Amino acid sequence: MKLQLNHVSKWYKNVKALNDVSIECESGKITALFGPAGSGKTTLLKIIAGLERPDNGKIIFGDKDITPLPPHHREVAFVFQTYGLFPHLTVYDNIAFPLKVTKKYSSSEIDKRVKEVADILKISDVLQKYPAQLSGGQRQRVGIARALVKDAKILLLDEPLTNLDYKIRETMRGELRKILLSSKDKVVVYATPDPIEALSISDYINILIHGNLLQSGETTNVYNNPRNITVAQFFSYPPMNLFNGSLSYENNSWMLNIHEIKTSIKLNEKVIRNLSADTSTKYRDVTVGIRPGDFMFFLSYEEYERSKKEGLVTLSGKVLTSEVLGSETLIHIRIAEKGRISVLIPELRPIELELPVVIAFNPLNIYIFDKKSGELIYSPYHIP
C-alpha cells in the first residue's frame, strides 16, 4: 500500500503553512518529515490524520481518495510528542483504550493484543503501573504501544523522542526503527527536527523548510547529495562548515580557492569529472562546504606526520572553544584572521582554549555550491 500527498497546501489566515507539497510513503518503510520548528511537519501529519483539511490537494491511500474522510474512517494511529496518556488509567488500560472504544473486540482478544505489543516494546513488567510511576522512556513506549495495538494501516509519529533526555533518546533511536518495522503492512510517517534521528530511523526523507518541500529521496542519498546550501545546513549535525570560495582555471589546472582560510587546492581528475559546472567559464564564485566530521585533528604537525596520512590539506589554528556532544567533542577553531572551523572528533577530549592545533581534510570530501543559486555542483558522492 502507498500513501500519496498530491499538491497539498494549507493556509492559516495570512500564513502559508504548506506550499504545494507532494510526497509518497510506502508500507514497510519509514518516511521522515524533517525540518526545524515551524516547517509544516505537524500540519502535514494532522492533514494525513484528518485533524486538519488541506486548502488544496489530495491525500490518496492505495487507490482511494481519503481527503474528505473524517479521522475515524482513515485507519490512522497517531503518536504525539507529549505522549497523551491518561493519568488515571494503568499502562494496560492506556494501551487497551483504542480497542475498547471501538467495541469490536472481546476481552480475551484485547488482552492478547495488549500483552503482545507490550512484549515487543519491553513494558510487560509495568502494565499495572500508572503513567506518573514511569520514566520518560517508558511513557513514550506506552504511547507507541497504544498506536501499534490498533489495526491502523497508517502510523504517524510527531517528534516522539524530543522530550526524552539524551541517554534515553540515544537508546530509543536504536530500538525504535526495529519496533516500527515489526509491522510490514503499515505506512510509517515520522516527523523530526533531529538529523541524527532521521538518519538513524528513516528509509526515505522529505526536507521541509517554511512549508516548502526542498528535497525528497532515500535518506542516505539526500544526506550525501544535498540539493542546495539550505538542505546541507539543516540536514547536518553539527552544521556543515561553509566558506566563500572560487573556482579558477590557472596554468592548465582547476584550482579551488577558499578565501576565509586562505587555502588553494588543485582539483584532481575525480573532482573535475564529477563537477557539474560550466568548465568553459574560467572563474566562478562558489561556496565550499566541509562537514565537521570530515576533519582530522592533531595537536602538532609532528603528530600529523606520525599519522602517515597522505593527500590531505593541512591548516593550523587556535582553539576558540569546545563542547561535549554525547560521546563526541565539537571543537571550534580560528584559522587565519576571519576563518572559523568546527571539527567533530569521536571521543571525549579536554581541549585548552587558545591551544595551537593542526587540522587536516581530504579534498575529495568537500562540497561545492554555486554562490548565486546555492545549488550543489559537486559532492563526494556525486555520480555523473
pLDDT at 260: 74
- Out of 3.40.50.300, 3.40.50.720, 3.30.300.20, 1.10.238.10, the CATH code matching 2-226 is 3.40.50.300
Query: Grid cell 579558477 — which residue?
Result: 248
Across 318-338, average pLDDT = 89
- Strands 263-266 and 30-34 turn out to be unpaired
Q: Which residues make Cβ contacts (< 8 Å) with residue 280, sequence separation at least 6?
A: none
Across 192-210, average pLDDT = 95
**Tens of pLDDT, residues 45-65:** 999 999 999 999 999 999 999
- Same topology, domains 2-226 and 241-289+367-378? Answer is no
Across 238-250, average pLDDT = 89
User: Per the structure block, which three cell numbers stand in for 329?
Assistant: 567533542
Residue 373 predicted with pLDDT over 50: yes
- Strands 154-158 and 187-192 turn out to be parallel
- Out of 2.40.10, 3.30.2170, 1.20.120, 2.40.50, the CATH code matching 241-289+367-378 is 2.40.50
Separation between Cα atoms, residue 255 and residue 203, nearest integer Å: 37
Residue 267 predicted with pLDDT over 90: no
Residue 345 predicted with pLDDT over 90: yes
- When mean pLDDT is compared over 154-163, 201-210, 325-334, 341-350, the highest value belongs to 201-210
Candidate from 51-65, 183-197, 247-261, 311-325 with smallest mean pLDDT: 247-261
**Contact yes or no for 370/226 (Cβ under 8 A):** no
pLDDT at 301: 86
Residues constituting the chain = 384
Residue 219 predicted with pLDDT over 50: yes
What does pLDDT average to over the chain? 89
CA 340 to each of CA 31, 55, 268, 290, 337: distance values in angstroms, whole numbers, following the listed order = 35, 45, 26, 12, 9
Q: Helix, strand, coil shares of the chain as percentages rounded to 5?
A: 30, 35, 35
pLDDT at 226: 96
Domain residue spans of the chain = 2-226, 241-289+367-378, 292-364
pLDDT category of residue 240 using cuts at 50, 70 and 90: very high
Candidate from 32-36, 142-146, 280-284, 319-323 with smallest mean pLDDT: 280-284
For residue 212, the number of C-alpha atoms closer than 13 Å in the C-beta half-sphere is 5
- Strands 15-26 and 2-12 turn out to be antiparallel
Residue 380 predicted with pLDDT over 60: yes
Across 326-350, average pLDDT = 89
Residue 277 predicted with pLDDT over 60: no
pLDDT at 273: 67
pLDDT at 384: 46
More confident residue, 91 or 162: 91
Phi, psi at residue 105, to the nearest 5°?
-115, 145
**Rounded (5°) CA angle 59-62-68:** 35
- In percent, how much of the chain has pLDDT > 90? 58
- Strands 30-34 and 187-192 turn out to be parallel
Across 77-86, average pLDDT = 84
Question: What pTM, to 2 d.p., does this model score?
Answer: 0.87
More confident residue, 50 or 160: 50
Phi, psi at residue 140, to the nearest 5°?
-65, -40
Q: Within the chain, what is the greatest distance between any pair of CA atoms?
A: 82
Residue 274 predicted with pLDDT over 70: no
Residue 13 predicted with pLDDT over 60: yes
Residue 282 predicted with pLDDT over 80: no
**Tens of pLDDT, residues 111-154:** 999 998 898 888 899 999 999 999 888 888 898 889 888 878 99
Across 91-95, average pLDDT = 95
Q: Which residues make Cβ contacts (< 8 Å) with residue 30, sequence separation at least 6?
A: 177, 180, 181, 188, 190, 201, 202, 203, 204
pLDDT at 279: 54
Q: In this structure, how many other beta carbons lie within 10 angstroms of the beta carbon of residue 258?
A: 22
CATH class of 292-364: mainly beta
Separation between Cα atoms, residue 68 and residue 70, nearest integer Å: 7
